[in-house]
Structure 1
Amino acid sequence: MDTAALYRAVWRWHFYAGLIILPVLVWMAATGALYLYKPEIERAVYGPWTERQYTGDPIPLGEMAESVGLQAKGRVTRIARPADDTASWQMTVERADGERRTVFVDPALGLVMGNIPEGGVMKTVKELHSLIITGPVGNALVEIVAGWTILLCLTGFYLWWPRAGQKALALRGKPTGRLFWRDFHASTGAIAGAVILFLAVTGMPWSGFWGKQLQGAVSATGMGRPAAPGPAPWEHRDHHASAELPWSMQATPAPHGHGEGHIGPDQIAAIAAAHRIGPGWTMVMPSAPGAPWLVTDASPRTADTRVLYVDAASGKVLQDASWANFGGGAKAIEWGIAVHQGEQYGEPNRLVMLAGCIAILLLAASAPILWWKRRFAAPPPARDPARTRGVAAIMLALGALFPLTGATMLAALSGEWLWNKRRKRSHFAT
């Protein structure tokens, strides 16, 4: 077996994968690291608005929602009660022109302490991370980058794997030499590669194309989420409400109620308490006639997941879904998302994900230095065409799992083929 030819073929794929995705990968690592510290950043930005100013029990929810609506000049559509009694509550207010604002409320008086565009600065960070802020093209780009990152990790592991007499981790030479940077790049990737690979794989469910296909499959087969009794038409779904749901339930129709009613937020809170959903919940008001109330447990741990749908006319619980109702597939996806966001296992989880983001930045910084040390030359092609074709076939098989990434792989191979063909013609012409 010509191992040198195989090594070169894998090296070229690793090199071009990094070249293609490096800027976007750096962007995602930086914004992802910021989003891990959402609570701390919000406290730093919004200061005293995030804490209660007055002690005492909360006033009735109906009274609070009415007061907040008058103060914020709109209609309350969502109430988030934190588990921490010292923290302010957050409500979403929709104004007559359709604008949505996030309002910080002291529940003891129903006093609005401040309001910001819906979601505030961290919603912007999240949209920057997913590039959804740029529209479908940007979101597709994130999916492509995630797929290439998986390829980058797998080829990187192969290139790093210690051969006879080599150390697994080393840092040889001086910073002025190429050997130092090659060891730095390889050792960093070896240490953090599994975390980076995990981030890429678990980020895929959010993607615009592949993620929707996966979500649709989970929803259509019923293999992972609780079935909704009496589904409402799709146009009755509140997309702002679906954002509060676990990922695997966001594509499923909501249970359908029996018309408009006079059940208010106080009754809904009492029903939630009777179903053992304590402080730390989010309540979403009905968005249309026949739509139900929605209450979700805001706990970051997947095992504490609760989703409660309540009929707006009768107060009947239409659906009470807990973690036990999810199948193995949905549980795996939800668990991956929670770990990806650094929430599942507390601070150690967050630090490991942060380390993955920092490692991406270090790898991205060392890669151009390595390229510069090679005088911006690409890795030489393998002399064995069979090895080149074999590695390409493996890469395309991986690309078939993630179609948008696979399409860019085909484009890259086509571009290289055309370039080589043109170069050969130029050689023969001279």
Structure 2
Amino acid sequence: MNSKSPATQGNTSLYRAVWRWHFYAGLLILPFMILMSITGAAYLYRDEIDDWYHADLKFVEVSDTNAQALPISRQIQSALAAVPGKAIKVLPPASPDRSSEIVLAADAGGREAVYVDPYDGDVLGHMPDRTTIMWVVRRIHSLAEFGTIPNYIIEIASGWAILLVLTGMYLWWPRGNQKGGVVSLRETPKRRIWWRDAHAVTGIFIGVFIIFMAATGMFWSVFWGKYANEFANGTPNGYPSGVRVDVPLSTIPMIDAFGETSWTNENIPLPQSVDGGTDETARPAPVGIDQAIATFDKMGLTPGYAVSLPRGETGVYSASIYPDDLSLQRVIHLDQYSARPLIDMGYDDYGPFGKIMEFGINFHLGQEFGTANQIFLLVICALLIFMSVSAGVMWWKRRPSGALGVPPMPRDTRKIAVVSAILAIGGIIYPTVGASMIVIWLLDYLLVARPQRKLRTA
């Protein structure tokens, strides 16, 4: 039987090496963990919050006298009268009490979302496209609101969150005759040991979910997400497995056409209309948005879909819907001259990797299991905030006055190399994390480890 106490075991070189990396990981990402938890918790209720905050734009009164909606073409005319420009996308009402959203490329510059009463054509108001309160929260969540470089920082933080959990699990693992701090708390909140136990016990219960949320969140990341998406589709321009493409493709990806689409479909290019022929003088007139909408409805597209209007003479009418129910995800492209479906693609057509990732993303967004999914993730976000705060309290109580409080160097410094090599696997999987790991290692060596070694030998 091992007679060493947890304290003695905690002084081993390997333990110290892992603790050192765990400390640096926490120092780097805890502020971002709090930010992502707060904004992520809010974004779980994006529809409810947006509907409340923008109720004057999103909802209309329904009565017996206005039960018949105007054609979408008439609603577009109303939107253009209020904001001169060109219609590029429309979102027909998902239910009778909702307004239509018409997205315009405004003559004055930028994209403007105009909200129209579908029954009388009155314009309820307008604002720059994708500036609803929860869209801004989403961009703050990823730091995309502050530019590309901060967006990279969130990618690094997400990767480090995974390594933070893995090193934390090693530090939590019971040693010797340890009685408390495994699934129970010792002492009171006045003592540092209570905060250590609360941090460790909370982490061991939600650690798997932290890894899951960090890993699925990486699919939106600037660097890693792009290449993962290309891998999922085979090539940057490849359709998901099972979708046969026998029409010409444009160079416009779906993310550019819709502004927001499913992760699997982001880089898929729009097809081109072919039923107009090649002779421009004999080309028939386009069918128009009203017939396109009628075709989408006839094909059973779930209400709440968005329609991207044709771009140029070879453009197509493209409709997409990404509801909570993954099985109802669907994208349909119509030839603008005949309203003939060129591609009709749903969740069942995705490849295995795409299906797994779409499920993970749907759960990450709190959609897959409805209210239960939202509440569960809300609790995870709250516990993440508590873990971050408890880590800060632990550090504050432990650190020497006026010092950073970096964990002591292992007696056997080779253990740092061993732990670093193991963590480097994560750095290879997530290259931006690997780059930050090198920077941290150099800073630790130059500013902490090397001066300490000189003091010991002096």
TM over 0.5: yes
Flag the 1:388–1:170 CA change in 2: closer, same or farther, 3 A: same
2:356 and 2:246 map into 1 onto residues whose CA distance is 24
Q: Which moved more, 1:56-65 or 1:336-345?
A: 56-65
Residue-by-residue CA offset, 1:222-241 (whole Å, 9 max, x unaligned)? 5845454434342x446442
Structure 1 residue 27 and structure 2 residue 35: aligned? yes
- Structure 1 SS opposite 2:145: helix
Instruction: Tell me, yes or no, if the aligned pair for 1:228 and 1:252 is still in contact at 8 Å.
Output: no
1:334 and 1:254 map into 2 onto residues whose CA distance is 20
Between structure 1 and structure 2, the one with the greater Rg is 2
Q: Which moved more, 1:152-161 or 1:252-261?
A: 252-261
Residue-by-residue CA offset, 1:130-171 (whole Å, 9 max, x unaligned)? 111222211111111110011011112222233455353212
- Kindly report the root-mean-square deviation, in angstroms, between the aligned alpha carbons of the 2 structures: 2.2
Q: Which one-letter code corresponds to 1:390 in the other structure?
A: V
Structure 1 residue 50 and structure 2 residue 74: aligned? no
Q: Which one-letter code corresponds to 1:30 in the other structure?
A: I
1:115 is aligned to: 126
Instruction: Tell me, yes or no, if the aligned pair for 2:254 and 2:261 is still in contact at 8 Å.
Output: no
Structure 1 residues 130-279: aligned runs within 5 Å: 130-163=142-175, 164-166=177-179, 168-221=182-235, 222=238, 224-225=240-241, 226=243, 228-234=245-251, 236-237=252-253, 239-258=255-274, 261-279=285-303
2:394 and 2:453 map into 1 onto residues whose CA distance is 29
Structure 1 residue 18 and structure 2 residue 26: aligned? yes
Flag the 1:242–1:229 CA change in 2: closer, same or farther, 3 A: farther
Residue-by-residue CA offset, 1:247-300 (whole Å, 9 max, x unaligned)? 111112211113684221211112112221142211111133312111112412
Q: Which one-letter code corresponds to 1:49 in the other structure?
A: L
Structure 1 residue 66 and structure 2 residue 90: aligned? no
Give the structure with the larger helix fraction: 1
- Structure 2 SS opposite 1:98: coil
1:116 and 1:354 map into 2 onto residues whose CA distance is 30
1:290 is aligned to: 314
Q: Which moved more, 1:309-318 or 1:87-96?
A: 87-96
1:413 is aligned to: 441
2:357 is aligned to: 333
Q: Give 5+ residue unaligned stretches, structure 1.
A: none
Flag the 1:22–1:389 CA change in 2: closer, same or farther, 3 A: same
1:151 and 1:224 map into 2 onto residues whose CA distance is 31
| Count of residue correspondences | 428
Instruction: Tell me, yes or no, if the aligned pair for 1:223 and 1:327 is still in contact at 8 Å.
Output: no
Q: Which one-letter code corresponds to 2:249 in the other structure?
A: A
Structure 1 residues 298-377: aligned runs within 5 Å: 298-375=322-399, 376-377=404-405
Instruction: Tell me, yes or no, if the aligned pair for 1:231 and 1:253 is still in contact at 8 Å.
Output: no
State the 1:99 CA deviation.
1.9
2:322 and 2:330 map into 1 onto residues whose CA distance is 8
Instruction: Tell me, yes or no, if the aligned pair for 1:224 and 1:331 is still in contact at 8 Å.
Output: no
% identical aligned pairs = 33
Instruction: Tell me, yes or no, if the aligned pair for 1:51 and 1:88 is still in contact at 8 Å.
Output: yes
Flag the 1:415–1:271 CA change in 2: closer, same or farther, 3 A: same
2:137 and 2:166 map into 1 onto residues whose CA distance is 29
Q: Which one-letter code corresponds to 1:90 in the other structure?
A: E
State the 1:49 CA deviation.
2.5
1:223 and 1:69 map into 2 onto residues whose CA distance is 35
1:157 and 1:208 map into 2 onto residues whose CA distance is 29
Q: Which one-letter code corresponds to 1:401 in the other structure?
A: I
- Structure 1 SS opposite 2:174: coil
